[in-house]
Every structure is written in C-alpha cells, then in structure tokens.
Amino acid sequence: MILTIDGVRKSFTGPEGSVRVLDGLHLDLAAGETLALTGESGSGKSTLLTLVAGLDAPDEGRIMVSGQQVNALDDSARAALRRTTVGLVFQQFNLIPSLNVAANLAFQARLAGRLDMPWLEEVTGRLGLSDLGNRYPEQLSGGQQQRVAIGRTLAARPALILADEPTGNLDEAAADRVLDLMLELSRDSGAALLMVTHSKRLAGRLDRRVHLSRGRVA
C-alpha cells in the first residue's frame, strides 16, 4: 500500500467547543490506484489531505505513506517525504511569485532530483502552458495558475498525488485534459491519486469512490 489510514481521529476547537471532524477513519490506497473523495462541505476532506501530507497531525490513529508513519516523523523527515514521494495540488496554488512559469513548473522536479526535460515539456504542452513560460504567476488567470500548480506536481512524478479539487477553476474540457494527464501518469509510473472532487463526472473516471460522512467512510 502506498497509503494506509488507520483509525484517524481529528477534532478542532471552535467557538462552540470541540468539533470532531474525522472519527476513526480507515482507508487504503494501493500503488497506481486512483480514488475520488467526495462528501458534503465541511465533511473533512481537506483536513484528511492535510494530515496525509503531514502538514497537521491527527489526534489519534496512524497514517502510513510508502511505509513511513507520517505522524511519527520529525519536521524534516516529513518535509523530505513531501519533496520526494507526495505531490500536493491544493486550493492555494503556492506558486513562487519571483519565478516565471517555466521555473515554477520545474521547481518541484528539481527539488525531488527528478527533472526530466522531455516529460516536463510534455506536461507543459498538455496543460496548454507552452506559451506562458516567461510570464510570472501574478500575470496569470486563476485557471492558468491552477494548471501551473498541477504541472509542477506532475512534472516531479510523485508516487502519491494528493489533489484538493484540482480542476475547480477550469472549464469541463480543461478539467478533462488535466484528469487525462493525471490518469496517464498513474498508469505509466504507478502513481496513486487521492482526489477531492465535487464532480460526479470526474469521480466516475477514477478507480474508486469514497464518500465521507460524519467523519467516516460512508
């Protein structure tokens, strides 16, 4: 398994006291498998991705990524896991404002030590970004920024892609092209994909669908 989520609980303290968002969640994802995570707004989908990425810690339970227990690692080991193994496409694109599009696209692959120019060019072309290489993030539309964020992650060929509504700013045709590319990467290099989506149409193209409700798999 590239990902095992075992008995994960997570609560947040808000104005009305403690609210349990994840309540003993179990989920497995095999290498190369693609899974759509659905659930109503506030059901904990983004929280789960944040925990898997090691950006926050569960209150209880275990999250294993590629044989390593994420929540038992120290900060630098968690950062190394994100650099080498886990690719994130989150709703905040986190592009680097001082780098142009071409450099943003290469950034993650370079950090991971996997910069592969033919693959980078293919990703850039397939995402329709070839003519935008010299622009800076602030000169891009929301959908263009989203495609750069996706390209940067895919260019690095991570073993596990965590994507939170990765096509939320794109029209249907562009969303389909992005998913084509993710599914192809999954097929060709065995990458697993855990994707949050509200789109039944996109969810239907993945291997499995899991619905979160009341902090558990429904």
Ligand X SMILES: Nc1ncnc2c1ncn2[C@@H]1O[C@H](COP(=O)(O)OP(=O)(O)OP(=O)(O)O)[C@@H](O)[C@H]1O
Among 25, 29, 33, 47, binds ligand X (CB under 6 A): 47
Among 25, 33, 35, 39, binds ligand X (CB under 6 A): 39
Task: Give 154: exposed, middle or buried? Use CB within 10 Å, 0-12, 13-18, 19+.
Answer: buried
Among 8, 27, 45, 78, binds ligand X (CB under 6 A): 45
Q: Which is nearer to ligand X, 150 or 159 (CB)?
A: 150
Among 21, 65, 86, 149, binds ligand X (CB under 6 A): 21
Interaction of residue 76 with ligand X, rule CB under 6 A: no
Window contacting ligand X (CB under 6 A); options: 38-46, 64-72, 80-88, 154-162: 38-46
Cα–Cα dist 4/181, whole Å: 25
Among 3, 27, 29, 43, binds ligand X (CB under 6 A): 43
Interaction of residue 12 with ligand X, rule CB under 6 A: yes
Q: CB–CB of 163/185 below 8 Å?
A: no
Phi/psi of residue 89, nearest 5 degrees: -125, 95
- Single-letter code of the amino acid located at 48: L
Q: Which two tokens stand for residue 183?
A: 């599914």
Among 41, 76, 92, 141, binds ligand X (CB under 6 A): 41
Q: Which of 152, 159, 108 is nearest to 129 (CA)?
A: 152
Interaction of residue 117 with ligand X, rule CB under 6 A: no
Identify any residues that bridge with 26 across adjacent strands, giving them in sequence order.
6
Residues that bind ligand X (CB under 6 A): 12, 14, 21, 39, 41-47
